[in-house]
Amino acid sequence: MSKIFKTIKTKALDIGIKFLSIDEKIAYLAFNTRLNHVNPIVILPTGHSTLKKLIQRMKNHHIIGNLHNGTIKGLKVTVLQAGLGSPHVAMIMEGLKRSPCKLIIRVDYCGALKTMDEDIDVADVIIPQEVILTDGTAHSYLQKHSKELDNLPLSYYPVVKASNQMQYPSLQDNYVGIKGNSSLLQTVKDSVSKFSYDFSIKYGKLWSVDALFCETEDAVETWKSYGVKSVDMESSAVYLLGNLFNIPSISILGVSDLPDVAQWNFQKTNKIHPKFDFILDNAINVMVGALPEIYKQVIHE
């Protein structure tokens, strides 16, 4: 591409962008298409493998920009790959804030602590009731929205100054936890209780972190000290921004590894768990089973 052509292209873009609102510009960054192409129910997988499995469950599938639109159980949904880590998810959430989205469901993997629940295993499903925020993205939003914190369902956990535990940046010497949308959580609980699964569905606290490879023994001891059952890298943005933006949001996660069990710790073993191929299917089955009741009770309550 010649220098003259690049200059002309830049000037054309400059003229065109003047006709876009800030919301429309953010939409193009997040979705590569217009805001009104987003359906009321948005499902956020992290990785491509989850995206592919979700698309297989859709009918009338078509692609608009980065959006995969279609229906599941007769309900209009948008599936959008949100990317790895809270910064990527936050960008998507900012776009969804400005869109017709009325419900957000994150479906993907998480790690779990067997020492906190002896019955938990790989391929079980975890639905966080509360997410403890230690990632940088969450802290940026906590600072920006500091005047609104009293209106959020927050919990505060004093930092434990123990020598054998990992020290994290904290907000005024406290870790901050945020609870999920109570109506949405209860609806999912009630809905899945009507089904019989050959895996367990667990609820509890999840710890959201910045780095996949920081599941050290000290980190695990820190998570355990606050009663945490699971860990991931994205649910903090889903739960915190869902609350801030008044969009009911939830994570439904398949257990991929057990950081406190050497045999199934991602960083310590090359073994494949016998149930590995069921992890995403189990989480998606829970989501699909609960979807009609979620739509009825949460979107049209």
Calculate Rg over the CA atoms of the chain: 20
Identify the pLDDT of residue 13.
Answer: 46
Residues recorded for the chain: 301
Task: Give the span between the Cα atoms of 29 and 46, in whole angstroms.
Answer: 17
Give Cα separations from 282 to 15, 118, 159, 164, 199 (angstroms): 49, 19, 35, 35, 8
- On whether the CB atoms of residues 180 and 105 are closer than 8 A, the answer is no
pLDDT value, residue 290? 96
- Identity (one letter) of the amino acid at 13? L
Q: How many CB atoms lie within 10 A of CB 30?
A: 26
Q: Which helix (H) or strand (E) holds 25?
A: helix 22-31
Could you tell me the residue ranges of all domains in the chain? 3-299
* Domain covering 3-299, topology: Rossmann fold (3.40.50)
Q: Rounded to 10 degrees, what is the CA torsion of 250, 252, 257, 261?
A: 70
- pLDDT at position 269 is 64
Give per-residue pLDDT as tens, 207-222. 999 887 777 778 888 8
Contact 273, 54 (CB under 8 A): no
Instruction: Report how far residue 140's alpha carbon sits from residue 163's, in angstroms, rounded to the nearest whole number.
Output: 27
pLDDT at residue 12 in the model? 46
Residue 55: what pLDDT? 97
**Closest among 263, 271, 163, 261 to 218, alpha carbons compared:** 163
- Ranges of residues in the chain whose predicted pLDDT is under 70: 1-20, 161-164, 168-172, 262-270, 272-274, 301
Instruction: Return the SS3 of 284.
Output: helix
